[in-house]
Every structure is written in structure tokens, then in C-alpha cells.
């Protein structure tokens, strides 16, 4: 996904001289070409995330469209107030790109685990929040961000994510993408769990259970119509996200379902209220929190009581 | 304090600046008394700096939102907004009746500046340590578009406690952003004590210089000296410029001068007439 992101902003920057890329000293082996091609549209501010955001705001107030990159944790938490006041309150075209899903840096410890980024960003007025599920969604959302007049946060996974969409699929900011139709269970998936959701649907299909798979690459504005439709048309909803359960994508879904007075069963898969301990591979941690095809299958069966 | 070949201003011009500053101070006192608002002393100390900027230095283009050849101004010490609004009204950039309604329901001027709330308010501030970074971004945009514009940021001394301020100071020096001018309203009193007691900024000028800024110290109530320094802020110095303006908190209202409590208190309406007549 990261390469898809770099490729897209490179295209945007060559078309529009007002496109800038700011990094807080990250992007080794990723941004070199961009820097070489567009030295006047690139700025490394050093390890200074607060300054990165304020500068991006100043540039945006002067007609620029600014992408700011750092690791998901660093770009959302250290400069939270700059994000709130400088870019959200002033409603500016500054596009934050957080590198890494929750366990992309799985051996680094929780300082590098993006557990809260989506929740922190979605709570801010004017902010749009996205976590694409494959490189095709990534490309489409980077382009969509550029066309937005207000701020954006995009969390992109690091590397090696498979392509799920077909090339001609339309991916629209603020709308979920339906990848599979079905009326037994609806799997609402956010971010790089998309392949797991598809795989789980395949397993369930073999057992005669038809799943609807909706990719919620945009968490805010949230496609509430698709959630309500799924809640009405299926026997239960499963939300899947690499994020703390508290305040994440599943929480938003639960709010919409209850606000609408619906009683559709809902199981939220995600990370419980703790700092994940220990060291291991990305899959090691995901398995621990049932963020696997098997975990999703199990949740479906629980809803269907089989 | 350095005083190099200062520009001589005509007596008439000096009188005019003093009159505007006096009027602006009267507006601050009247509006804050009516609204019961605070931060009066913080609004009074930078008035002369802003009068110098708005009546002599700034080349603004208020008609065009993006003009890289015009100057920008950010009041980074957002709590001094009433002083800022008063100078904008004095200059005729905002209508005076906005001040009459200050602090009332449906008034459009908040206690801290909000971008676009009124003409000439270019950035939202109120939390300290944001203005210099935003100004750095504006100055970069001017430079990268080969514009002649400069960006002026007015900071408080307390604001220089913020780490984010120094992130911006370091980078501006590194980038040699000579169209960025930071002015510190060094009134030496912050929210809960003197800067010396709370967190001593000294040696203050050395800190800016060490970060590759040109630094000038000046009496922030002396128009002639301030203007002669500000007029020299050419964009060909290859260094950003810091002007450390020594000011008096509460300047112009004798009983408020150098008194911490006037960060918080307000003038009672029954004392308004007497207070107004004491302003100098």
C-alpha cells in the first residue's frame, strides 16, 4: 500500500505544483525519488511532528495541498492539538498519511502500535478518516483526498497487501465497497483485514452460509445507509478492524445500529482494552485478537448459533 | 540595547502613531469593561508593536486571499486578540461596531482570533506555540512562489516555553527563511508569575542567535526604534529575523502596568471613565 501511495502522490505532484509532501524524517527508501523530482514540493522538517502539522497548515492557508507522512502513531498523537486547531478547526486541505497498521511494527512494542489513531482522528470535526484494505483502495483514496477541501487522515499498511478489488471497481470516499453479496451474515471490514474477511466468506460459503462483505475503507464520513441496510437484510453483523475496540470502527457501527433502534446481533472483532504485550510477528498478534479468517468464521457461527 | 542609525520619523507621523495607539488602548479598555473579558494587560503590551506594523510596515492585500507578494501577520499570542482587533479597527480594516459588540451574544469576534471571523484575521490561534509553525509554512509558500511577501508573527514570552515554538525556530534558521520575522512581546510576566521566576528565558537573544536567526532587541514602545528595525527586514539576509521587543505588561494604564492580576481582572463599568482618562 505504501508504494501505491507514493506512486499516486508522485503523479499528483507532477500535475499540480501546489501539491507538497512533508515528512517528519521518515520515508527512507520510499521518498527519495519524490524528493529528487520535486525538491520544491518536498520538506523534511526533522523529528518534529508538531511543527510538521503547523507548517502544513500555513502552506495550506497559502494555497497548497499538503500531504504529511509519519508512522501512524506519531502523526496522530504527538501533534494532536495541532491537528485539531491548525488543520481541523481551520478546515484546511492537509492530508495526514499514517504509515503502518496496528501490528506493522510487530516487534517494536506498543510505542509503534497504532491502536487509537482511527478513533482519535474520527472524533475531530471536519476530518475524514480512511483505512484502505488493498492497494486499489489506497490509490483511489489518495486521489479522493487530494480532491477534498478539508483535512484527511489515511492509515496505510506497510507492504505486501494483496489486491482484492478488480481494477475497474469504483472506490468512493464515504461509501463502502461491496465485494460480496449475501444475506446471512454481513462482514463489515476496515483496513488491511479485507483479505481475511474475503477468505472467511469463502470458508463460510462452503458451508452454505452466504456473507455480504463490505469494505469500509472510509470510517468517516461513514456509509450509514449500507450499515442499516445490512442490519436489516442479514442475520447479524461482524465488524473487523485492527484497532482498539473502544472508539474504533466497530463502535461507530454500533452507534448507528442502536440509534436506528435495530436489534441485529453485532460482534466486533478488534483489540481489547489493553496494551498488547510481548513480541512476535504481525500474524502472531492478529491471531491473539482473533483477527483471522478463523476468528471471523467463529463469530459468524456464534451469531447463527451453529 | 542596540540603537544603530535609527530612522528619523517626522514629528507628525510620530504623533499620528501615538494617537492610534492611544485610541486602540481606549478601545481595549472600553470593550473589555463592557464584555467583562480578561487578558487586558496582554492586549495592551503589544499595541505599539501592532500599530508600527499596521501603520508603517505591513504591505497587506486584504482583497486577495492568496498573494505571495503581500505580507502576512499572525497574532500567535491569541490572548492578545482584543489589542489586535482594536488596531484593526483603528486601521479601518474591521468596522468599529464589531468592538462595541465584543463579547456579546452573536458577536463574531472571539476572545482568541479565529481565521476569517473578520477581515485581516488570517490564522486561528489561542493555544500557544502554533503561530510560528503556521507562519513558517506561510513564509515557505511565499518563497517557493518567488513572492516578495514576508510573514510577521507576534509571540508572547510565555509562549517561548512551548517546545513546538523551538521546533519552528530551529527549522526556520536551518531553512534560512529570511522572509519570516518573529516579534516577541517580552513583557516578562506570564500567566502565573514573572518569566524570571517561572521559566527564565535568558539568555534569550543568544537562544535565537544559536538557532541561526538575526536578532534585534528594542523598546517595544518606541516607534522610531521599532520602525527603523522593522524597515530593515529585507528578504535578502539569508536568515530569519527575531525582534525581542521589551514591553510593559498593561502598558498605558498606570495602575495595570507590570501587574500580574491584570491578566485576569477586568475594569468595572463604574470605573471605566476614570480608567479611560488615565490612559497615556
Q: Are A52 and A70 in contact (CB under 8 A)?
A: yes
Report in angstroms the alpha-carbon separations of A143 from A116, B29, B234: 25, 51, 40
pLDDT digits 0-9 by tens, B118-166? 999 999 999 999 999 999 999 999 999 999 999 999 999 999 999 999 9
pLDDT digits 0-9 by tens, A71-128? 999 999 999 999 999 999 999 999 999 999 999 999 999 999 999 999 999 999 999 9
B-chain residues near A86 (CB < 8 A)? 124, 130, 133-134
Q: Say which CATH topology domain A177-304 has.
A: Rossmann fold (3.40.50)
Q: Measured in whole angstroms, how far is the alpha carbon of residue A121 from the centre of its chain?
A: 11
3-state secondary structure of A97: strand
In a domain, B166, yes or no: yes
Contact state of B141 with A62 under an 8 Å Cβ cutoff = yes
CATH of the domain at B262: 3.40.50.970
In a domain, B1, yes or no: no
pLDDT for res B5 = 58
Nearest CA to B240 among B170, B142, B145, B185?
A: B170
Q: What chain A residue is nearest to B166 in terms of C-alpha separation?
A: A51
Phi and psi torsions of A53, nearest 5° = -70, -45
Interface-testing mutation among B137, B167, B175, B176, with chain A (most A C-beta atoms within 10 A)? B137
Q: What is the mean pLDDT of chain A?
A: 97
In a domain, B36, yes or no: yes
In a domain, B3, yes or no: no
pLDDT digits 0-9 by tens, B192-211? 999 999 999 999 999 999 99
pLDDT for res B1 = 45
Domain total of chain B: 1
Alpha-carbon distance B29 to nearest alpha carbon in chain A (angstroms): 29
Alpha-carbon distance A25 to nearest alpha carbon in chain B (angstroms): 13
Query: Closest to A62 (Cβ–Cβ): which among B66, B115, B126?
Result: B66
Q: Measured in whole angstroms, how far is the alpha carbon of residue B199 from the centre of its chain?
A: 21
In a domain, B228, yes or no: yes
Q: Are A83 and A126 in contact (CB under 8 A)?
A: no
A-chain residues near B163 (CB < 8 A)? 50
A-chain residues near B133 (CB < 8 A)? 50-51, 53-55, 57-58, 82, 86
CATH 3.40.50.970 is right for the domain spanning A2-156: yes
Q: How far apart are CA A213 and CA A220, in angstroms?
A: 19
Q: Confidence band (pLDDT; 50, 70, 90) for A203? A: very high
Q: What chain A residue is nearest to B134 in terms of C-alpha separation?
A: A58
ipTM score: 0.95
A-chain residues near B123 (CB < 8 A)? 58, 61, 90
* Spatial CB neighbours of A69, under 8 Å, sequence gap ≥ 6: A21, A22, A23, A24, A26, A27, A31, A75, A97, A99
Determine what percent of chain A is predicted with pLDDT higher than 70.
Answer: 100
Q: Which domain holds residue B46?
A: 11-278
Alpha-carbon distance B13 to nearest alpha carbon in chain A (angstroms): 33
Q: Are A151 and A68 in contact (CB under 8 A)?
A: no
Average pLDDT over residues A206-228: 98
In a domain, B99, yes or no: yes
For residue B4, pLDDT over 60 is answered with no
Q: How far apart are CA B70 and CA A30, in angstroms?
A: 36
For residue B236, pLDDT over 80 is answered with no
For residue B235, pLDDT over 70 is answered with no
Residues of chain A within CATH 3.40.50.920 domain(s) are 177-304
Interface-testing mutation among A50, A55, A56, A84, with chain B (most B C-beta atoms within 10 A)? A55
| Whether B59 contacts chain A with CB within 8 A | no
Q: Confidence band (pLDDT; 50, 70, 90) for A241? A: very high
In a domain, B4, yes or no: no
Tell me the pTM: 0.96
Residues of chain A within CATH 3.40.50.970 domain(s) are 2-156
In a domain, B202, yes or no: yes
Q: What chain A residue is nearest to B135 in terms of C-alpha separation?
A: A58
pLDDT for res A187 = 98
pLDDT digits 0-9 by tens, B31-56? 999 999 889 999 999 999 999 999 99
Amino acid at each position: 500500500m505504501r508504494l501505491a501511495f507514493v506512486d499516486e502522490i508522485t503523479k499528483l505532484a507532477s500535475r499540480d505544483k501546489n501539491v507538497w509532501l512533508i515528512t517528519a524524517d521518515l520515508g527512507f527508501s520510499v521518498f527519495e525519488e519524490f524528493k529528487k523530482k520535486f525538491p520544491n514540493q518536498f520538506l523534511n522538517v526533522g523529528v518534529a511532528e508538531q511543527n510538521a502539522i503547523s507548517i502544513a497548515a500555513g502552506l495550506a492557508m497559502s494555497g497548497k495541498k499538503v500531504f504529511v507522512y509519519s508512522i501512524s502513531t506519531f502523526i496522530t498523537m504527538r501533534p494532536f492539538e495541532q491537528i485539531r486547531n491548525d488543520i481541523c478547526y481551520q478546515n484546511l486541505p492537509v492530508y495526514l498519511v499514517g504509515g503502518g497498521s496496528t501490528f506493522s511494527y510487530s516487534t517494536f512494542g506498543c510505542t509503534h502500535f497504532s491502536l487509537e489513531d482511527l478513533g482519535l482522528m474520527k472524533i475531530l470535526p471536519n476530518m475524514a478518516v480512511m483505512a484502505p484494505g488493498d492497494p486499489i483502495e489506497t490509490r483511489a483514496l489518495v486521489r479522493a483526498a487530494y480532491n477534498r477541501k478539508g483535512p484527511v487522515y489515511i492509515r496505510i499498511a506497510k507492504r505486501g497487501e494483496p489486491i482484492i478489488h478488480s481494477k475497474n471497481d469504483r472506490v468512493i470516499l464515504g461509501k463502502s465497497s461491496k465485494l460480496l453479496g449475501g444475506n446471512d451474515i454481513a462482514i463489515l471490514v476496515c483496513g488491511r483485514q479485507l483479505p481475511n474477511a474475503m477468505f472467511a466468506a469463502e470458508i463460510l460459503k462452503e458451508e452454505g452460509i452466504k456473507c455480504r462483505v463490505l469494505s469500509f475503507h472510509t470510517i468517516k464520513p461513514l456509509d450509514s445507509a449500507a450499515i442499516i441496510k445490512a442490519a436489516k437484510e442479514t442475520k447479524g453483523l461482524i465488524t473487523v478492524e485492527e484497532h482498539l475496540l473502544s472508539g474504533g470502527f466497530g463502535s461507530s457501527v454500533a452507534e448507528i445500529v442502536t440509534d436506528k433502534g435495530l436489534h441485529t446481533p453485532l460482534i466486533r472483532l478488534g483489540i481489547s482494552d489493553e496494551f498488547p504485550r510481548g513480541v512476535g510477528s504481525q500474524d502472531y498478534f492478529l491471531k491473539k485478537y482473533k483477527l483471522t479468517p478463523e476468528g471471523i468464521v467463529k463469530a459468524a457461527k456464534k451469531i447463527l448459533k451453529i | 540595547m542596540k540603537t544603530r542609525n535609527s530612522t528619523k520619523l517626522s514629528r507628525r507621523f510620530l504623533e499620528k502613531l501615538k494617537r492610534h495607539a492611544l485610541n486602540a488602548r481606549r478601545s481595549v479598555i472600553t470593550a473589555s469593561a463592557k464584555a467583562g473579558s480578561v487578558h487586558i494587560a496582554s492586549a495592551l503590551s503589544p499595541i505599539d508593536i501592532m500599530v508600527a506594523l499596521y501603520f508603517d510596515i505591513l504591505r497587506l492585500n486584504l482583497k486577495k486571499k492568496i498573494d505571495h507578494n503581500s505580507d502576512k501577520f499572525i497574532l500567535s499570542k491569541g490572548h492578545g486578540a482584543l489589542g489586535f482587533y482594536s488596531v484593526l479597527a483603528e486601521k479601518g480594516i474591521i468596522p468599529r461596531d464589531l468592538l462595541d459588540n465584543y463579547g456579546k451574544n452573536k458577536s463574531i469576534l472571539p476572545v482568541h482570533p479565529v481565521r476569517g471571523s473578520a477581515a485581516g484575521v488570517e490564522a486561528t490561534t489561542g493555544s500557544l506555540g502554533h503561530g510560528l509553525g503556521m507562519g513558517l509554512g506561510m513564509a515557505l509558500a511565499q518563497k517557493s512562489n518567488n513572492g516578495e511577501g514576508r510573514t510577521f508573527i507576534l509571540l508572547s514570552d510565555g509562549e517561548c516555553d512551548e517546545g513546538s515554538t523551538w521546533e519552528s525556530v530551529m527549522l526556520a534558521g536551518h531553512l534560512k527563511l529570511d522572509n519570516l520575522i518573529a516579534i516577541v512581546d517580552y513583557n516578562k510576566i506570564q500567566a502565573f508569575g514573572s518569566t524570571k521566576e517561572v521559566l527564565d528565558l535568558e539568555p534569550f537573544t543568544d537562544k535565537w542567535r544559536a538557532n541561526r536567526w538575526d536578532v534585534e532587541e528594542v523598546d517595544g514602545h518606541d516607534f522610531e526604534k521599532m520602525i527603523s528595525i522593522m524597515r530593515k527586514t529585507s528578504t535578502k539576509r539569508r536568515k530569519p529575523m527575531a525582534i525581542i521587543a521589551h514591553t510593559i505588561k498593561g502598558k498605558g494604564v498606570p495602575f495595570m502596568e507590570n501587574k500580574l492580576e491584570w491578566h485576569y481582572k477586568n475594569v468595572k463599568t463604574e470605573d471605566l471613565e476614570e480608567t479611560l482618562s488615565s490612559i497615556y
